[in-house]
Structure 1
Amino acid sequence: MKFTLQTSDIHSKARAGTLETAHGNILTPIFMPVGTAGTVKGVHQHELKEQIKAQIILGNTYHLYLRPGLDTIRGAGGLHRFNSWDRPILTDSGGYQVYSLTEVRKIREEGVTFRSHIDGSKHLFTPENVMDTQRIIGADIIMAFDECTPYPCDYRYAKDSIDMTHRWLQRCCERFDNTEPLYGYEQSLFPIVQGSVYKDLREKSAEVIASYGRDGNAIGGLSVGEPAEEMYAMTEVVNNILPRDKPRYLMGVGTPINILENIALGIDMFDCVMPTRNARNGMLFTRKGIINIKNKKWADDFSPIDADSDLATDLFYSKSYLRHLIHSKELLGAQIATLHNLRFYMWLVEEARNKILEGTFYEWKNSMVKQLGERL
């Protein structure tokens, strides 16, 4: 994998770059639609390419490990062949999912013992077998196994957690470096900075992660309930330490405003379930603000979902029609809303990149932030 930094914004730390992988190039900053179980819910692969214009999608190690299982994925020749997606894939390590299973998991130095949310069966994730699992899944970018701390989190717990995450990282790197990819193309391992909202812990973790010299680096443990100002502060602290010539991935973030503000702080890669999950509940993101399509005010509004969006030209569906579908619980309603929200997120990062290249990002970002949070 190769990352080329093309230009930086003169009024912020925003960057435009190109990330080269075995399954194609990625123009950054980039948003990655979340395909947890090998699919972006309700969206065909050709729609991801042609309408949403996704360049890379995300899969989840925990969910794919449980279902369909590693034997099936390996038998297919890896996730790319299993789900017929020929562009880049990133897999997270399952650490966040294990973190969310508070009542059914136990964290030890060896790894994490947890019970499946599907059938209650008992499993163990270790740094070593998580590397093996991600080799089998075959993603272009794979994540180190870490512990994601909750918010709020006391200082002692956060410190002990990053120390263990760093020990796990050493084990991940040893296993990764002593094994080979299974499907004839290279994979890249990204370590993850942790440290909750404590500046000194974030600095320490960023220094450790940077010292490994991997192809890219990630920032985890944010967007877990902390105020946005804390997220931005920790991102800025970490980005001052992480190497400038490597891509920076902020995991699980976030709202359109969060994405723009973190691009301004030097983040290159994002993922979040928000555009897809909120779409299924009738929340739509547009350039002028947020629409709750369930509201009665849209019942007789026959204008496009987002009149300024190129997706409106692609879909030709009105707010009134989409509201009818959502209220009727028709599957097409969730599908249209999902297509719209994902295309909007992709437009947002594409436009951010264009503005960085033009040298007008900072002013544009500030004007967009004022609009994006409005409730329409």
Structure 2
Amino acid sequence: MSFSFDLLGQDGAARAGMLHTAHGDVPTPTFMAVGTAGTVKAMTADAVRATGAKIVLGNTYHLMLRPGAERVARLGGLHKMMDWPGPILTDSGGFQVMSLAKLRKMDETGVTFRSHIDGSAHHLTPERSMEIQYLLDATITMVLDECTKFPATHEEAAKSMRLSTRWAKRSRDAFVARDGYGQFGIVQGNVYKDLREESAAALRELNFEGYAIGGLAVGEGQEMMYAMLDITAPLLPTGKPRYLMGVGTPDDLLGSVARGVDMFDCVMPTRAGRTARGFTSHGVFNLRNARFIDDGTPLDENCGCLCCTRHTRAYLHHLFRAQEILGPMLLTMHNLTYYQRLMQDGRVAILAGNYDEYCQATRAGWEEAKHG
């Protein structure tokens, strides 16, 4: 089984495809549930599968610190450890080093940092990041990069992007090619058109199995994010998957698919599920709100998940008010199901040639509830 991507249909820039990997096929567009430390929070692997998820995400930084990549390998790899035989994409750890690590110092070789857990010292290089992801048995390996801060001057963004480009070349050289496994390069450049173009051109030369768009959804706002996608997505190879990292809201996903993105990940649906916020076809509900105390209707009548078919808004309200762990479990399951359905229905609409109408109808549902 070779790692490949079939583009099966387009509606404008929106794409429907099929990603083939050593661990199974993934219909696109797709949303990857975030399993940072080897688990999707508040979910069993069976529960994640029940949402319709085909691929999940793990994280190099967190897993290298605890329980350790070598230990994961000795225990049979991340797929076995998580009870997830399907595809796993692992983030390279660069973003977490920049955002979480203590006393970090970056140079040409990589990043030296102290763990946010116990203060222990580590040095993460492109080569070590590739080794860790190999030990984890990641289906899709991400190159080590620096996620440029926002805002950043053109000079700062250029320096950062070019360092990431050099790290991408070293990551490519260190990647162990295997049937059905792939490595993605990450386009950087902040909000500067010329830097995005330079980054994409350099990464295309390295002939990655897929391409990610990084450094967005970091404070620049949706309008600017869309502008960068309009610039960047057409620069990437048509026959390879495109992954927008760390995005986002349901509306972000709809707009990004319309601009040619195939893959997404974000902690938003799981984090929201733990804080009583439910994403529905009628907008976002806060289940702690007193208006749900006697509401005997399903959270979303259009959803077939266990949360919506067996329980009521009133019960969810009670669980969160009583601080019962079942509340976050049920609402996380629902939110991930909603995100999966959003992408699956979008795929159907793309293949039918009516993606714009699908987006309009979906957004109209959110607005109707907002004003109803």
TM-score, length-scaled by structure 2: 0.96
Indicate the SS of the match to 1:310.
coil
Amino acid at match of 1:266: G
Q: Residues 193-250 of structure 1, C-alpha deviation per residue, up to 9 Å, x if partnerless?
A: 0011111111111111122211110001101111100000101101111011110000
Aligned residue number for residue 7 of structure 1: 9
Q: Which residue of 1 aligns with 2:267?
A: 273
Query: Could you tell me whether the CA contact under 8 Å between 1:217 and 1:247 is conserved in 2?
Result: yes
Asked if the contact 2:60/2:132 (under 8 Å) is kept, the reply is yes
Matches within 5 A, 1:1-376: 1-9=3-11, 12-49=12-49, 51-101=50-100, 103-176=102-175, 179=176, 186-311=180-305, 315-372=309-366, 375=370
Q: Which residue type is aligned with residue 70 of structure 1? A: A
SS of residue in 2 equivalent to 1:104: strand
Q: Is the 8 A contact 1:305 1:312 kept in 2?
A: no
Query: Contact 1:306/1:312 (CA < 8 Å) preserved in 2?
Result: no
- Paired letter, 2:96: Q
Aligned Cα RMSD in Å? 1.5
**Is the Cα–Cα contact under 8 Å of residues 73 and 79 in structure 1 kept in the other structure?**
yes
Q: Could you say what secondary structure the match of 1:190 adopts?
A: strand
| CA distance in 1: counterparts of 2:353 and 2:192, whole angstroms | 33
Give 1:154 shift. Answer: 1.5
- Mark the runs of 5 or more structure 1 residues left unpaired by the alignment: none
**C-alpha contact 2:8 2:17 (8 A) present in aligned 1:** yes
Partner Cα distance (1:90, 1:160) in 2: 27
Q: How far 1:103 sits from its partner (Å)?
A: 5.0
Instruction: List structure 1 runs of 4+ shifted beyond 6 angstroms.
Output: none
> How far, CA to CA, are the matches of 2:75 and 2:307 in structure 1?
37
Residue by residue over 1:120-172, the C-alpha shift from the partner in whole angstroms, topping out at 9 and shown as x without a partner, is 11111001110111100111101000000111112111000001000111111
Deviations along 1:303-329, one digit per CA (max 9) or x if unpaired, are: 001112122686411001001101111
Change (3 A) 1:217 1:226: same
Please say if residues 191 and 214 of structure 1, whose CA atoms lie closer than 8 Å, have aligned partners that are also in contact: yes
Q: Deviation digits for residues 55-100 of structure 1, max 9, x if unmatched?
A: 0000000001111112221111211111111111000100110121
Q: CA deviation at 1:300?
A: 0.8
Identity of aligned residues (%): 46
SS of alignment partner, residue 240 of structure 1: helix
Provide TM-score, normalisation by structure 1.
0.95
1:241 partner letter: L
